Structure formats: C-alpha cells, structure tokens
Structure 1
C-alpha cells in the first residue's frame, strides 16, 4: 500500500535535561547532545499519547562514496542489515500499530526486519523519501568530487534554501504531513516511519523551532537511529533520540544520501 502524494520537486542514558524553551515555543528535547539512548522511549499506555518513531535506514553499500539520493540500486550493506536487525529487536514486543517506509530500497530493507518483529505490513509513503539533490550520482567528499568543480559553483549560491536541492521548507512540510497522518492512524499506540537523514533532521528542526539551515556535520541522526516524536492528542510535546545500533557505528560509512 502506498500513502501520500508524491512530493513536489524542488551511549547510555536518555537525556536527563530538557530545553529551557517553554512548551508553546516547541517540544522538549530529551537526551545528551550528540549521544543517543540505547533504546527508544516506550509508551506508557495513556490513551491520549502517541509515539512516532522515525528511523533512519542502516548503512548502504556505497564503495565509490557516491551521493546516491533517490537513485535506485543502492542497498543496505552487510553492516546495514545488522543495524536494521538491532532496530527491529529494539522495537519488538511494542504496541506498534503502523509501519511506514520510504519507497527507496535502503528504507524498505531497513523496514523489513521491523515488519517481521512487529507483525506489521510495510506501507510505502513517498512523502518520507530522500530529498532531491542536484549532486545526486556524484562524489561530494571534502577532498574530491562535485563541490570542487567550477561547473558546480552556480548551484551553491543560496545555502539557505538550499539552491542545490529540494527546499528545506518543502521537506519539512511533507515530513510533517506524513508524521501527523501516522500519528492519527496509530492514535494511543506507536508508529514507525523509516526515512532518511536530511528529511528526519529537517522535520525535527521544524518541530523544535530551529532554523532549517544547518551544518550537515552536526545533524543528530546517525545510521539506524530512532528519533521519537511524543504526541498528546495532535501536539508534539517532546522529542527523544536513541541509537539501538550504536555498537555498529564505528567504521560505518559517513557519506549521507543527500
């Protein structure tokens, strides 16, 4: 089953402190900066509470360090499959009412063991797909690749939008819509969405009231991480971050999808 319209172009402890921002200025953010709890937060059984766990896919087999974006044919590596299994173990036995995934192979392959562990069928939602990027299919590492080529420089004129890919506002809008639809469908229970780093980080920044423009190196969204949005009714009032596959992160590929 496919959900939603196609988007337009364009550690060991949970955080012990919360932000000082008032509730009406954005949800609380729980956990240590740059550190994930080992397991996602659990539902406490309240009928007005819904947890939506947004999972980033596992490591991708990408020996050429290509920014793969939405390109087909990029599958999980052996390490990536092991990461997905650890996420599935972390979510097994929970009250998961809905499982949604991006249509891209790496997301579907990450969702597969979660489906087996939870007994849920994967529903594909194009709104949680990777962001568009003009450098898709090219190398973009610091020492080589597209960013050092003069022909690419015209694409870099506006990092606030950004000019080289899908607008941050567009990403935030489609991810927010998918999150809220999943929360409504799983009201009083838990839902899982398997997506990609930039869309997940953009959604979190949007809901926490931060600027969408950011340094990609500072995204708190590691491979196979779980960013959990805690809703009471329709309001997101807290965000939790966990890394069930933290033991497999050392040595993993650091090339993002977009």
Structure 2
C-alpha cells in the first residue's frame, strides 16, 4: 500500500533561556508555550477530514514531546525516524551573537552555500526525501483497506530544505527567510514518483506572537 499525503510538522517552542543554538544537543525540551503549540498542531491534524496510518518523529526530545499530543489525538504510536533529525552544526551550544565575534569560529562560515558550518543541504534533502519515500511505500492500509496519511515531526531546517529541494529551488538561503513557523504543518502528495507540496498551515499562529524562535540550526 501507499499513503495519501505526508505532513511534516515542526516542533513547538523550546525552553532555551541561554539563547544558544541547541542543534542536536540533548535536554532541550518544549517550553510551556511550546507544549500549547504542539497541542494546536495535533488539534489541527485531528480536525481535518483525514484518517492517518502512521506517525514518525525525530529522536530529539523536542520532537518526541511535540509528537506526543499528535499520538494521543490520532491514536497512533510514535515511530522513531533518525533520518528526519536536526542537522549537526559547528555552533551547537553557542550563543550566535557572541560566537560570530570570535575569529576562531570564522572558518566555519567560509562557504554558506554548502554550508561549511554543518551538514550539507544536499545531504539533508536526500535523507529527508528517502525517509518520506520509505514511509510512503511501507504505509500499512487502514482497517477497511484504504490508504491513510502520514505525519512526520521534524525540525525547521530539514523541512525547509525539503521544500526547496522538491520545489526545484536553490538549497542555500537566508535562515531568517524560512517559511516554517513553530508547530507549522507542511503537506505533500506524490505524483508520478515525485513529492509535490500541497499545503502549509500555522495552527499555533494565534499564540506565537511572543514565542522565542531561537536555537534552530
């Protein structure tokens, strides 16, 4: 069987009082507002006229916590998918404003098109799309034999890189211009073996005005 759609959900706001780039560092949980955001994304998904067959999440704490209300709302177990994890980054654990002042960090900035500070954009896109393809192809049918949708809880840069790759856009970009808000949902269908974006929503927009969206790679 195959799926009907794949929904890439970004995690909610992270508790990050030191304003560091947390990347793959352990221990970065959702804030109280982030928990509300995750619940808003879960309610949005559950409120659609859709049935779901599988739920995947990155292994990091913030995505596992964001997947929990989705699992409860959709009555699905959370399956671990390491390929949709946040990329590695030279600046993990650092406050970017301070790190950029230190000459020892400047070599990591030499090639923003790759980028030189972390995992190449092409690698991120390849692993994300491979995970989406595998989830699509292995989706189990629902009880009545029909297809269901798939939800994958991931991170801003992997989701935005996937958007760019599938849209045929250049992969390098200004991080400040990403269209991938906290707890947003980016949806894809597959036509002729290729994923095509079919929707983007921000279920937590009404509560995100004062959110701190720092720390993402």
Task: Answer whether TM exceeds 0.5 for this pair.
Answer: yes
1:170 corresponds to: 123
State the partner residue of 1:126: 82
Mapping 1:185-224, distance limit 5 Å:
185-186=138-139, 188-224=147-183
Q: Does 1:240 align with 2:199?
A: yes
Secondary structure of 1:244's match? Answer: coil
Distance 1:165 1:76 in 2: 24
Encode CA deviations 1:134-187: one digit per residue, 9 max, x unaligned: 0000001xxx31112111111111111100100101101000001111222337
Deviations for 1:111-144, whole angstroms, at most 9, x for unmatched residues? 001000111000001000001100000001xxx3
* 1:104-143 aligned within 5 A: 104-140=60-96
Task: Extract unaligned runs of 5+ from structure 2.
Answer: 142-146
Q: Where in structure 2 are the equivalents of 1:22-171 lying within 5 Å? A: 50-92=4-46, 94-140=50-96, 144-171=97-124
1:7-62 deviation digits (Å, cap 9, x = unpaired): xxxxxxxxxxxxxxxxxxxxxxxxxxxxxxxxxxxxxxxx9871100000000000
Q: Distance in 2 between matches of 1:106 and 1:174?
A: 20
**Partner Cα separation in structure 1 for residue 179 and residue 196 of structure 2:** 19
Residue 225 (str. 1) matches residue 188 (str. 2): no
Change (3 A) 1:233 1:189: farther
Distance 2:120 2:104 in 1: 21
User: What are structure 1's unaligned runs of at least 5 residues?
Assistant: 1-46
Query: What is the aligned length?
Result: 209
What is the TM-score normalised by the length of structure 2? 0.92
- Secondary structure class of the residue paired with 1:145: helix
Question: Residues 65 and 194 of structure 1: is their aligned pair in 2 closer, same or farther, counting only changes over 3 Å?
Answer: same
TM-score of the pair, normalised by structure 1: 0.78
2:132 aligned partner: 179
2-structure distance, mates of 1:84, 1:230: 23
Q: How much does 1:233 deviate? A: 5.9
1-structure distance, mates of 2:3, 2:22? 37
1:49/1:103 Cα in 2 relative to 1: closer, same or farther (>3 Å)?
Answer: closer
**Structure with greater helix share of residues:** 2
